[in-house]
Amino acid sequence: MEPPMLPEGLRHKTTTEEEKIDGSMFKPQLWHYVEQKCPPGTIPIRRTTENDLLRAEKINRYGKKNQRPFYPPQTALIHSSLNENGHQHAITYVEGDKYYGAKAEINVWAPSIEMPNEFSLSQLWLLAGSFEGDLNSIEAGWQVSPDLYGDNNTRLFTYWTSDAYQATGCYNLLCSGFVQISDQIALGATISPLSGYGGRQFDIDILIWKDPRAGNWWMSFGQNCVLGYWPAALFTNLAEAATMVEWGGEVVNSEPGSRHTSTQMGSGHFPSEGFGRASYFSNLQIVDASNNLQPPGNLNTFSENAACYDVENGYNSEWGYYFYYGGPGYNDRCP
């Protein structure tokens, strides 16, 4: 299927301090360095190995989220329940309107993971519905997940669900759902190069938007690659629009020995350290009903425990709306 027109109003940073991982200057994934190409009419698919399946708790849960992820809280009761499943977040979000897509430039790092059943990710979410069973979610970004991939590489990923992560949906292409059309990018493949503390910074561009005609939700990677789409038929609440958009980081803290783990979020450093040290999202935009990209408006922030992982919003003419986020996990103030 040919992709629809990209939304109008794409905004990109003009600074030369960050490099784009979109194929124009760098090969965005490690498999590109062996000069492999897909035959015409095919797409690259990360191979599922026997070891991948053996790491799964249950075969029918392979490629699915095992714990209830985050939905922004409206009450203190929801706040307290989130910590019980081990998921922790440092996010920026908007709600209270209809959203037909979202975009961000996401700084990429290689956070360390203490326990193999934990992960660290940085992504954007498009959400509609509730956790009572009808939550629809579309997600994309980068993640480090030893349990899913068998290593600590930073990888491009997508996820979707139409029933609050119960039975539907999965990562990448591990179940039916996302329809890939690009032969240039492999979901689940290692991203390269990565940012270094005090060194060069690298970003990926991710845009998700709804086709105004067919209703499918499309995703582009970088400035040159339309990756594929989630068919409209997958969803109920997202059939019309998202009611909330989130950007930020998420980790799982398994609390071995009743202490917080040292699994990092983002760069593993707090937002206060700023550029080149803390991880960031920049050029946050949302897509409106006219298929135009707009500033996100009234941004909110949330983190369960700012002593472990935190988030700080900002705005300037060069980056538009942005935020720094992340942290080291275990430390003197996060025992």
- Whole-number Å distance between alpha carbons of 256 and 212: 48
Annotated catalytic residue 19: no
- Whole-number Å distance between alpha carbons of 171 and 155: 12
- Whole-number Å distance between alpha carbons of 239 and 217: 9
Which residue, among 276, 255, 279, 254, has the nearest Cα to 265 in the 3D structure? Answer: 279
Query: What is the DSSP pairing of strand 18-20 with strand 201-210?
Result: parallel
Which residue, among 119, 146, 147, 121, has the nearest Cα to 56 in the 3D structure? Answer: 147
Which residue, among 120, 119, 290, has the nearest Cα to 210 in the 3D structure? Answer: 290
Catalytic residue among 18, 105, 118, 139, which?
139
Catalytic residue among 105, 118, 246, 250, which?
250
Annotated catalytic residue 246: no
- Whole-number Å distance between alpha carbons of 267 and 3: 34
Q: How far apart are the first and last CA of the chain?
A: 51
Q: Which residue numbers are catalytic?
A: 139, 250
